[in-house]
Chain A
Amino acid sequence: MNHAVVRRIAWGAAAALLSFGAQAQNIRVAYIDPLSGAFAQTGEQGLAEFRFAVDQINKRGGVLGGRKLEVLGFDSKVSPQEALNQLKRITDQGIRIITQGNGSNVAGALIEAVNRHNERNPGKEILFLNYAAVDPAFTNDKCSFWHFRFDANADMKMESLTTYMAGQKNIKKVYLINQDYSFGHAVKKAARDYLARKRPDVQIVGDDLHPLGKVTDFAPYVAKIKAAGADTVITGNWGQDMSLLVKAGKDAGLNVDWYTYYAGGLGTPTAMGEAAAGKVKIIAEYHSNVANNKAAKWDADYRKQAPKGNPDFYFLRGKIMWEMLAKAINQAKSAEPKAIALALEGMRHAADLGEVEMRKSDHQLIQPLYVFTLHKTAARGGPKEARIDMEGSGLAPVTDARLEAFTSAQPTSCQMKRP
């Protein structure tokens, strides 16, 4: 406890000293995500990718004719309370831009805190760049001028996923299984609504919610899916809830296609193993075997220096985020959050896989998405597109469909209050 206080005072003093001659300083961005505990590796992955992205921008000359960007890691422990403590440290250090992605609960707390801070400290506003927290509320009723989301939200992903599913005539009976918390509920609701609209002939034969991360044995759920006669399962599960489900399905000889959000998440392909081959589909903005991949060199360069244990390049949206931030700073000719935010609003950007737009009305990035299936790598008898596997698991993503940016765009209920 004493340590923390001493450290805070020291940081405060250091920040005060630095702020005197800070004009030609680096533009610092605080990365608030888990850097210890069970999700540390996920947090470390984002940090490593962002450091790489920032290095690339700095090598090309930085922003504002020579100033450099810098990312600093702050441990959120995926806890809203911890993230708010870190936000205090961050403001004490005079950092004005933050980025976060793991946990919509954390993102929600940060949005509120940033709004409050910015109201009380005019001229010292903070900008929040969200790269992965997908609760639709953040760009609807909880939208904020200071928050920008670079990931497609849960509803947008389901919109694209169901657009793809609408064309799959072999889908007749769908089973929904999700984790029993806000995100799982959002996936369940969106799946029901959008399927009813796009494929009214599809029958929803089952709908289960199970506690988050507490189920060891998914065999009973699989027996239920099987008894319901489902040919397709939609799930927002992540982590071990995802891998255990697919493994249990394979053991029981369950023959279904899995439509997922996060089966590509760190560690999951390894845990699922070949049980997933040809069966598991994922919706995301990027995978390493995507066609006409203008980010291929970036991807390869990243892999060459990637930390051990996190070999893959995962967040194309992270690359997009940093490129757009640099562009906005240059356009605004300022590193002031308000000026950056005004430049980011409505910005169009020629990203590696097609044009993206930061929608002005709700600060949601509209970008193309891909539905892809995990296959055995070409070397192990899979399709020839299955070149680069995920985390050395022998499972490689292959595109099923590209869904253009407009497919996923949703109406928004956001009533943005601009300063």
Chain B
Amino acid sequence: MEFVLVQTLNGISYGLLLFMLSSGLTLVFSLMGVLNFAHASFYMLGAYFAYQVSAQIGFWPGLVFAPLLVGALGMLVERWGLRTVHKYGHVAELLFTFGLAYLIEEAVHLIWGRLAVEYRVPAELDGPLFHIMGSQYPIYRGFMMLVSVTMLVSIWLALTRTRIGLVIQAALTHPQTVEALGHNVPRVFMLVFGGGAALAGLAGVIGGNAFVTEPGMAAAVGPIIFVIVVVGGMGSLAGAFVASLLIGCIQTFAVSLDWAFGGISIAQAAPVLPYLLMVLLLIFRPKGLMGTREG
């Protein structure tokens, strides 16, 4: 029982981190139709920026500044890169972000080297939050959950309760109309792309010290966030939320199952299950769990 509880908490907290990562991706996709291959690289940059800032002035300023920096960088990329490429169509945009991912990785190699950097959880968040019958639950995981839930609520409020949120939602479905009403759609695009990058950056700040900050971290999470976006339904924020929790929990619980089929135990196959889920979903429900678009 205790074990199930611990694993549930592990699954939820991992799922929430995945949501932080994929929310930006799905927002950008839904608005701009761009599948941003460099999204995980913004996650990595968030971690490295936070490492740099926290080495100078501490973790908490890093928590604020690193996502802002990544967001600003995202806007620059949109303004001076994507917008120019946009007129050549989606394939060009796709290739652009694909190349960008490599560029960012090499830049990280050049600036911070190829080894892991010493980006640590701050002392005040290091330690057990509570004990469940002898097992301890780390404060930092609780903090991770808090940040991502706060983020979820703020995105939702921003999208539904603010003027710019309404414009974004409108631009989602009727960009021409929104433009005709006198809104600057390209600027909305820039804001959304920057916002998406900032969300990934925030995930990096939180994930970088929970796990390891090293140049391979983008490649490690890259595939899984695409799975989440596809499973949740392209462009659906709620779908991404459900899919993140689902995949977080599936992976966590599969690890605990030692039942074997034909020599391969479920535990052994755990990290492959999300991809299996994606393939099955694409066959039987191509629009994803909560998606609205077909194919």
Contacts and interface: CB of A to CB of B under 8 A. Distances in A.
B135 A253 contact: yes
B118 A267 contact: no
B116 A220 contact: no
B118 A273 contact: yes
A224 B256 contact: yes
Nearest to A394: B118
Contacts of A268: 116
B39 interface: no
B10 A223 contact: yes
B128 interface: yes
Contact of A215 (B120, B216, B271): B271
A227 B138 contact: no
A240 B13 CA distance: 20
A211 B255 CA distance: 12
A32 interface: no
Contact of A247 (B212, B220, B271): B212
B138 A247 contact: no
A40 B212 contact: no
Contacts of A210: 255, 267-268, 270-271
A180 B268 contact: yes
A267 B135 contact: no
Contact of A309 (B3, B10, B115): B115
A220 B7 contact: yes
B212 A309 contact: no
Contacts of A220: 7, 10-11, 251-253, 255-256, 270
B119 to A, nearest CB: 10
A271 to B, nearest CB: 4
Contacts of B253: 220
Contacts of B189: none
A343 B295 CA distance: 68
A209 interface: yes
A217 B14 contact: yes
Contact of B141 (A180, A251, A267): A251
Nearest to A250: B138
Contacts of B272: 211
B202 to A, nearest CB: 17
Contact of B116 (A40, A216, A271): A271
Contact of B6 (A40, A208, A223): A223
B85 to A, nearest CB: 27
B140 interface: yes
Interface in B86-121: 113-118, 120
Contacts of B114: 38, 40-41, 267, 309
A221 interface: yes
B222 to A, nearest CB: 11
B189 to A, nearest CB: 31
A220 B271 CA distance: 12
B249 to A, nearest CB: 10
A180 B136 CA distance: 28
A266 B115 contact: yes
A38 B267 CA distance: 27
Contacts of A244: 211-212
Q: For this complex, into which size category does the number of interface residues on chain B fall? A: 35 or more
B135 A216 contact: no
Interface of B is mostly: helix
A216 B115 contact: no
Which of B6, B216, B256 neighbours the largest number of chain A CB atoms within 10 Å of its CB? B6
A295 B6 CA distance: 48
A134 B116 CA distance: 25
B221 interface: yes
B71 interface: no
B42 to A, nearest CB: 17
A165 B101 CA distance: 46
Interface string B137-168: 11011000000000000000000000000000
B215 interface: yes
A270 interface: yes
A243 interface: yes
Contact of A219 (B3, B10, B118, B221): B10
Contacts of A40: 114
B220 to A, nearest CB: 6
Contact of A243 (B116, B138, B140): B116
A214 interface: yes
Interface in A99-139: none
B214 interface: yes
Given A209-B268, A240-B214, A271-B116, A216 B10 contact: no
A109 B11 CA distance: 41
A113 to B, nearest CB: 29
A218 to B, nearest CB: 9
B10 to A, nearest CB: 4
A252 B140 CA distance: 11
A20 B268 CA distance: 57
Contacts of B271: 210-211, 214-215
Contacts of A252: 6, 135-138
Interface in A185-219: 208-211, 213-217, 219
Interface in A17-48: 38, 40-41
A219 B252 contact: yes
Interface in A372-419: 391, 393
Nearest to A248: B211
Nearest to B255: A220
Nearest to B105: A38
Contacts of A209: 267-268
Contact of B216 (A38, A217, A393): A38
Nearest to B120: A273
Which of A217, A226, A240, A247 neighbours the largest number of chain B CB atoms within 10 Å of its CB? A217
3 nearest CB pairs, A to B? A253-B136, A267-B115, A271-B116
11 contacts: A38-B114, A217-B211, A221-B255, A223-B256, A224-B256, A240-B216, A252-B135, A267-B116, A270-B117, A271-B212, A393-B118
Interface of B: 3, 6-7, 10-11, 13-14, 113-118, 120, 128, 135-138, 140-141, 211-212, 214-216, 220-221, 224, 251-253, 255-256, 267-268, 270-272
